[in-house]
Amino acid sequence: MKKVQLLKLFLAGLFLFVAIAFQEVEAQSDQGFIYGKITTIDNNTYTGQIRWGKEEAYWLDMFNSSKPRNRNLRYLSRDDREKLEDRHHSWTSRWSNIVVSGWGDRDHTHSFACNFGDIKSIDIIGRERIELELKNGERLDLEGGSNDIGAQIRILDKEIGKLELKWSRIETVEFLDTPANISDKFGEPLYGTVETDEGDFTGFVQWDHDERISTDKLDGDTDDGDVAIAFGKIKSIERDGRGCIIKLQSGREMYLTGSNDVNSGNRGIIVNMPGMGRVDIKWREFRKVTFEKSSKGSGPAYSSFKPTKRLKGVIKTIRGESISGELIYDLDEEFDMEIIQGEQDDIEYLIPLRNISKITPKNYDYTKIELKNGKSVLLTDSQDVTDRNDGVLVFEDKGDPIYIPWDEIEEIKLN
């Protein structure tokens, strides 16, 4: 009997050891980094970890471009188009700092954004043009719109090492599952908590819209000279006057000035939060960031981004009607991986539609966004969440859709 008990205790201990070891491997996983195969115009291929330009490094990072045409306008009646055109003219007057696309050629374009983890491949068509294939097989023609188009792409080929490829040399980028452990990689994740005037945000950090891995450098001036400190050596950065107090992992402290990394020239601090989206924090809202080791390794793996689905939901109108089916939000967003953008308390939110459960316009300038994780935000200052929104199309069946203007929507429940 004692032998049986001892055997049970041994097996229980072994199971616990394996579970802990497995969790440790998961915590150290590199599967959150972008990985794939690049084929050049000469049919040369390179496979390994990818960094898009000098910026994007994770599947959570966003690829940005613009849609050169809006094919959904064909579903609107002449009367609906004329009403939208009148509203756009009034917006141009009200929002003098915003450039609104003209409707003279009925070609109202929109920006495009999604996580790199949602992309199957990218074909380079021209200097500013690409064909992007989503995981569900949908292919999108995109053009310009950000520095993601035309970027030099760095790859750590698993055999030959680091290579930087010019846009003009690339034919196709095919994205692949990242190995759990990469022997040669660009660096470790930057993960931490950013303290702001409006609350704290914890996730994967992008400093100055640029630096996001441990080997990237923080530049600044000290009384004794210029320094460039690898982020992997930094414990915290705290805004102080015209510069920042930098605390290193060793405990050493210094005060830096004279660089847009550490003063008001900073473009903002982005925090990517799995299951929610990302926030972009303006310098004036930033107080302090404290870096720590991520329990999530390098973030969600490529396989965790499921094939894109068409947007579906139920719209309740101000007249009490409920209309359900496939949706096209703002006459533009058709898929659940597309992004809702807006600001709360001067902090910009970018949230994939798949993370949203309900959208409720509160008035002409504010919309409440309820997330599937139970949190909510009240957003403003973008077309997605104000009366600049072009309205929603609902496909109840295989026929033509029903068009619902934004000012007639009481709430949208997403499936």
pLDDT tens for residues 323-358? 999 999 999 999 999 999 999 998 999 999 999 999
Report the pLDDT value the prediction gives residue 105, as an integer from 0 to 100: 37
Amino acid found at 385? V
Report the pLDDT value the prediction gives residue 104, as an integer from 0 to 100: 38
Using CA atoms, how far residue 375 sits from 201, 355, 378, in Å, is 13, 10, 11
Two tokens, residue 3: 């032998």
Q: Which stretches does DSSP call E strand in 197-292?
A: 199-207, 217-222, 225-230, 234-240, 243-248, 253-256, 269-273, 277-281, 286-292
Task: Give buried/exposed letters for 11-41 (b at 16+ CB in 10 A, else e).
Answer: eeeeeeeeeeeeeeeeeebbbbbbbbbbbbe
Report the pLDDT value the prediction gives residue 106, as an integer from 0 to 100: 40
Distance separating alpha carbons of residues 353 and 360, to the nearest angstrom: 14
Q: What percent of the chain has pLDDT over 90?
A: 78
DSSP string, 270-320: EEEETTTEEEEE-GGGEEEEEEE--TTTTSS-GGGSPPP-B-EEEEEETTS
Distance separating alpha carbons of residues 300 and 52, to the nearest angstrom: 18
Domain boundaries, the chain: 1-30, 35-68+109-175, 191-302, 309-414
CA-closest candidate to residue 290, choices 187, 218, 190: 190
Which DSSP symbol is given to 329?
E
Report the pLDDT value the prediction gives residue 56, as an integer from 0 to 100: 96
Residue pLDDT, tens place only, 66-89: 998 888 888 888 888 877 877 766
Is residue 278 very low, low, confident or very high in pLDDT (cuts 50, 70, 90)?
very high
Length of the chain: 415
Work out the burial of residue 383: count CB atoms within 10 Å of its CB; fewer than 13 is exposed, 13-18 middle, 19 or more buried: buried
Two tokens, residue 26: 């998961």
Inter-residue contact 393 to 328 (CB < 8 Å): yes
Distance separating alpha carbons of residues 311 and 72, to the nearest angstrom: 14
Inter-residue contact 336 to 308 (CB < 8 Å): yes
Give the H/E segment covering residue 143: strand 139-143
Residue pLDDT, tens place only, 85-118: 777 666 655 544 444 443 333 445 689 999 999 9
Distance separating alpha carbons of residues 127 and 107, to the nearest angstrom: 22
Two tokens, residue 310: 């068409």
Residue 322, pLDDT > 90, answer yes
Residue pLDDT, tens place only, 150-170: 999 999 998 999 999 999 999
Distance separating alpha carbons of residues 179 and 29, to the nearest angstrom: 8
Mean pLDDT, rounded, for 296-311: 95
Distance separating alpha carbons of residues 299 and 27, to the nearest angstrom: 9
CA-closest candidate to residue 134, choices 7, 359, 383, 305: 305
Is residue 63 very low, low, confident or very high in pLDDT (cuts 50, 70, 90)?
very high
Mean pLDDT, rounded, for 388-406: 92
For residue 250, the number of C-alpha atoms closer than 13 Å in the C-beta half-sphere is: 6
Distance separating alpha carbons of residues 361 and 415, to the nearest angstrom: 18
Is residue 26 very low, low, confident or very high in pLDDT (cuts 50, 70, 90)?
very low
Q: Using CA of residue 44, residue 50, residue 54, residue 56, what is the dihedral sign?
A: positive
Report the pLDDT value the prediction gives residue 98, as an integer from 0 to 100: 43
Two tokens, residue 112: 């495009």
Residue 195's DSSP bridge partners are 200, 288
Residue 172's DSSP bridge partners are 39, 123
Distance separating alpha carbons of residues 372 and 357, to the nearest angstrom: 5
Work out the burial of residue 61: count CB atoms within 10 Å of its CB; fewer than 13 is exposed, 13-18 middle, 19 or more buried: buried
Give the H/E segment covering residue 97: none
Distance separating alpha carbons of residues 287 and 392, to the nearest angstrom: 39
Inter-residue contact 323 to 317 (CB < 8 Å): yes
Output Rg (C-alpha) for the chain, integer angstroms. 24
